[in-house]
A and B are shown apart, each in its own frame.
Chain A
Amino acid sequence: MPVPTAPGTTDYEMTSDADLQYTRVFAAPRQLVFDAWAKDEHVVNWMGMREQTMKVPQHDFRVGGHYRWEWYTAEGEHQVTVRGEFLEIVPNELIRNTEIMEFGGMVTPETQCGLHFTESNGLTTVVATVHFPDPETASAAMQSGMQTGIDIGFDRLDDLLAAQS
Chain B
Amino acid sequence: MASDSLSLTFSALSDPTRRAILARLLDGAASVKELAAPFAISGPAVSKHLRVLERAGLITRGREAQWRPCELDASPLKEVARYADGFRAHWDTSFDRLDEYLETLKDKD
Real binding pair: yes
Binding site for B on A (CB under 8 A): 7-8, 10, 12, 22, 24, 26-28, 32-33, 36, 42, 45-50, 80, 101, 103-104, 106-109, 128, 135-137, 139-142, 144-146, 150-152, 154, 156-157, 160-161, 164
**Contact count A vs B, C-beta below 8 Å:** 134
Q: Which residues of A contact B26 (CB under 8 A)?
A: 152, 156, 160
- Residue on A with the closest CB to B9? A140
Chain-A contact segment, one of B30-38, B41-49, B82-90: B82-90
Considering only CB atoms and an 8 Å cut-off, how many residues of chain B contact the other chain?
47
Report, nearest first, the 5 A-B pairs whose CB atoms are least far apart. Answer: A145-B84, A136-B14, A140-B10, A28-B102, A46-B97
- Residue on B with the closest CB to A133? B7
Residue in B11, B81, B89 whose CB lies within 8 Å of A49: B89
Q: Are A150 and B6 in contact (CB under 8 A)?
A: no
Q: Give the docked Cα–Cα distance between A26 and B96 (Å).
A: 10
